[in-house]
Chain A
Amino acid sequence: MGPESLEAKQQAAIEEVLKAYPAKAAKNRKKHLGVGAPEDESQKTCGNVRSNKKTVPGVMSQRGCAYAGSKGVVWGPVKDMVHISHGPIGCGQYSRAGRRNYYIGTTGVDTFVTMNFSTDFQEKDIVFGGDKKLDVAFHEIDDLFPLNNGITVQSECPIGLIGDDINATSKMYAKKTGNTIVPVNCEGFRGVSQSLGHHIANDTIRDYVFDGNAEILGAPIEPTEYDVAIIGDYNIGGDAWSSRILLEEMGLRVTAQWSGDATIKEMAQTPKVKLNLLHCYRSMNYISRHMEKEYGIPWVEYNFFGPTQTIKSLRKIAAFFDETIQQKAEEVIAKYQPMIDGVIAKYRPRLEGKQVMLFVGGLRPRHVIGAYEDLGMEVIGTGYEFAHDDDYKRTKDEIFRSTVIYDDVNEYELEAFVKKLQPDLVASGIKEKYVFQKMGLPYRQMHSWDYSGPYHGYDGFAIFAADMDLALNSPVWGHSTAPWDKEEEA
């Protein structure tokens, strides 16, 4: 590397990136880009970036919408309910089964996650309203899928614009049948990203699951002193299962998963737990705060990516309980340490010093940094699709070195940053994947774990390490340049 410091390179990259914009857009984007320095207390947020603001039009943002935040993230994985995409056909189709929210169940009979239920709005529904159609849809669902434990209505854009009253329609049907019907006003145009959809969905859980006296199947859960709930784990590739195992091994009882592989019963009974364990702060801090206020349940953020953070988190969680749990937590840590040592011994030499740029959503832009660093890899850039200030504040504690921070980065910017900073690996979403692979850059999708995973917990870390090695050390990247284009060896 030349004399130029990493930080100087990063600052220069930002300045250069901004040059291509028309003045108004440049002024806006400047506030969303910065260089984060570890332990720099003068920074209000990591890199002093601004966030959760409207996307600049026309720039090819990677953001999704409120519907995606509610149907796609929070509600969609609840497996024993039917989630209606209420409106035109597209939203439900594009978001069908894309997030890999694993669950156990007989799909189409007692569980419905990977299916697509839509009211398929036609012009007449727009003109005359769709409330009647929604009511008929409820009846048809209950006739054909009698083992559903409730229905949610995930509003698409037109619903809020044409003046439909899904709340009244849902309430009426719920009253008539005693079923749990949850209307969610998560129209895609609300807010600036997925984030508002998370919030709206959280509020509906409060209103219709906690306060709505949702009917539950089977015996109620008899509380114990060691009950906890996993909040904000969508069980992507089975993440919640590889987390759950550790919590159970340390003597805790996980009575609910929110919302990967969840049932409405688990959620409804969560107010009985002693502690809420919050993984994705961004998408489920709202309901955690509500349970704290309403039921006095404390919540604690944890991070199960990579052994360093996992160990820290296990101890942090154990500290809420008695010595037995604390002792067992140490036993869990000790039990897995040899395996983790083996994983690091095997992969670290193959990955050491490789630089990574991340762009993801939710918790990952900060939470996965530790996992890379455990493997000796260096994260030099990160950013969130839909974070708020509190996420960027938390990010300050997670970075290891000067890190370029980009909020709501768009296609143009990310490409420019990668070209300028030349990381060895880019880790982001499906829309960006092939852009960088075309350039010959190893790439991992960090929304879906690139169809692998789980990545949470100790067992997940072993898979993570193997996958990063797979990506970085595959022979395929060496084929990009043809032999006739290769420089003559000296």
Chain B
Amino acid sequence: MQNVDKIDNGKNLFQHPEYQDVLKNKKQFEGAWGAVDKAKVEEIAEWTKTWDYREKNLAREAITVNPAKACQPLGAVMVALGFENTMPYVHGSHGCVAYFRSYFTRHFKEPTPCVSDSMTEDAAVFGGLVNMKDGLKNCAALYKPDMIMVSTTCMAEVIGDDLYAFIDAAKQEDGGEHLPAEYPIPYAHTPSFVGSHITGYDNMMQGTMQQLTEGNKADEKKDRINIIPGFETYIGSLISVKSIVEAFGQDYIMLGDHSEQWDMPAGKYEMFAGGTKIDDAKDCINSKATISLQKYATAKTMKMVTKRWKHAGGTSNPVGLKGTDEFIMKLAELTGKEVPESLKAQRGRLVDAMQDSYPYMHGKKFAIWGDPDFLIGMVSFLLEMGAEPTHVLCHNAPRGWEEEMRALLDTSPAKDDLNVWAGKDLWVMRSLLFTEPVDFMIGNSYGKELMRDTGTPLIYIGFPIFDRHHLHRYSISGYDGALNLLTWITNKVLDQVDEETKGIATTDYFFDLIR
């Protein structure tokens, strides 16, 4: 029973003897193997750690177990929330939208506005035109966004709804009351059964940039650079990137800047904050260059920008030292300016810190997973520190990624021990960790069960992170971002050294005060 002076929640309550009895007593009715034959559970648990199991596990073709990717409309919602007063609108069932909102909200600890048009069985039969007409009108009337960005769920995609025609029909029927003819409603088809959340990001960004700029192309380009961040979940990274561009004194537009939307100060609630100005977005075709910070998350978008818009720039991944160097050199080239002193000093400080901490990362083996662009940047940084990315796993690897990652790993002296796992899930990672162990894992909250099962310490870097607070507020991009990475990783290594040496009168001779 609870003690009023020290009320225990579930963590300790169920350790009380009376509850241990309850749990023990319950076993007699249970049919799980753990209640019936404990030895069998131990036997199978041990088998899952073997090479035999690993081979079977790697041979899976049909069932995905513990994925490390999500679906397209999630990325589309992120795009929308990076534009000024823009409501993400998902054409389809509202269950999906409840999921997108929960998923982002659990990560950012921030509200995530997004509507759906609640299609149900009748819409599945007759199409979702009525839902679109009512939905756009209601959304505009209630929330008064300056723009609505429409993406789709797999339901709408399977039945083949025509977004262009539906949006047009909605405007016609509304007659300008809530949806004037010029009201911007960019759209993109984002089927969940193609690609992953980064594909949805790409489709929505490409659709938005194309549709908003239609008819706006001027004869002359402006001395202005577009920056597309990609599916960026580190708020601080957006700020770092902007400050680098600003250090050059360069005029720029960040297309899809959700840094304020998912980082609102307390004191009052407003549904939308910050974001790319709609007028800027409409004019982005007239910038002289566009730089995408995530190649794989913007493949389609950048194809349009470089081939059709003929923008200079291209892609640049400012994660780690070399990545940031390249981004800065690209800016120097595009602006024709010298690298500013402030950035030179920042670089110097980062290198100084790397030289202070290198003994702790050097030679350490890492397993890491996440989105393709994130991994390119993170693995570059690990290699810069002399670490060994033993297992690099990308569940949503697009074409070309595996080769690029392999080439990157081949620059390491340890290259023969470094492995790329494209298209594999985290249950595969579990086998890899048991059969070819590493010192540390770098990944999102889904690594938690791997940490429990394999004992490998987890360094929380990635998306989503549900069970550690405020990490998303930091930067992992630019020199300051690399310094954060260095700090998190080095200190986790040191935490682990302490953990392993804290044994009184056994290992604590190595429990050094100074490291």
Contact = CB atoms under 8 A, between A and B. Distances in A.
Nearest to B196: A89
Interface string B197-212: 0000000000000000
A64 B29 contact: no
A257 B35 CA distance: 15
A133 B193 CA distance: 14
A294 interface: no
A414 B135 CA distance: 19
A105 B42 CA distance: 12
Nearest to A466: B7
Contacts of B74: 90
Given A91-B99, A189-B124, A58 B139 contact: yes
Interface in B92-121: 92-103, 105-106, 109-121
Contact of A343 (B2, B33, B97, B101): B2
Contacts of B67: 89, 92-93, 116, 118, 120
B41 A133 contact: no
Given A80-B31, A106-B34, A263-B30, A63 B95 contact: yes
Contacts of B193: 87-88, 121-123, 125-126, 158
Interface residues of B, number: 108
B118 A56 contact: yes
A248 B22 contact: yes
A61 B120 contact: no
B194 A20 contact: no
Given A63-B98, A189-B123, A263-B31, A89 B192 contact: yes
A218 B36 contact: yes
Report the contact-size class of chain A (Cβ under 8 Å from the partner).
Answer: 35 or more
A38 interface: no
A190 interface: yes
A80 B33 contact: yes
Given A22-B178, A109-B44, A242-B13, A117 B64 contact: yes
Contacts of A266: 29-31
Given A110-B32, A136-B61, A144-B53, A58 B136 contact: yes
A42 B30 CA distance: 47
Nearest to B130: A57
Nearest to B95: A65
Contacts of A479: 266
A77 B34 CA distance: 16
B95 A66 contact: yes
Contacts of A94: 70, 99-100, 102-103
B63 interface: yes
B142 interface: yes
B267 A62 contact: no
Nearest to B29: A255
A463 interface: yes
A427 to B, nearest CB: 16
A242 B8 CA distance: 12
Interface stretch (B154-162, B291-299, B352-360): B154-162
Contacts of A55: 94, 118
A25 interface: yes
Interface in B73-95: 73-74, 89, 92-95
Nearest to A481: B267
Nearest first, the 9 A-B pairs at minimum CB distance are: A65-B95, A265-B31, A90-B71, A58-B135, A57-B135, A94-B99, A136-B62, A88-B192, A342-B4
24 contacts: A22-B177, A58-B137, A60-B97, A60-B113, A65-B94, A80-B30, A89-B64, A89-B196, A90-B70, A90-B71, A91-B99, A93-B69, A94-B70, A94-B99, A98-B106, A102-B10, A108-B427, A115-B65, A117-B65, A144-B53, A217-B32, A238-B10, A415-B269, A458-B2
Interface of B: 1-2, 4, 7-10, 13-14, 18-19, 22-23, 25-26, 29-36, 40-41, 44-45, 48, 53, 56-57, 60-67, 69-74, 89, 92-103, 105-106, 109-121, 123-124, 131-132, 134-139, 141-143, 153-155, 158-159, 177-178, 191-194, 196, 264, 266-269, 427, 430, 446, 449, 453
Interface of A: 20-22, 24-25, 54-68, 79-80, 84, 87-96, 98, 102, 104-111, 114-123, 125-126, 133-137, 139-141, 143-144, 146-147, 149, 156-158, 160-162, 188-192, 194, 216-218, 221, 237-238, 241-242, 244-245, 248, 254-257, 261, 263-266, 268-269, 335-336, 339, 342-343, 346, 410-412, 415, 429-440, 452-454, 458-459, 462-463, 465-467, 479-481
Given A89-B70, A123-B193, A458-B1, 17 more contacts: A25-B138, A25-B141, A58-B136, A60-B113, A62-B98, A63-B98, A93-B69, A108-B430, A161-B159, A189-B92, A191-B121, A221-B29, A242-B13, A248-B22, A263-B29, A440-B266, A462-B4
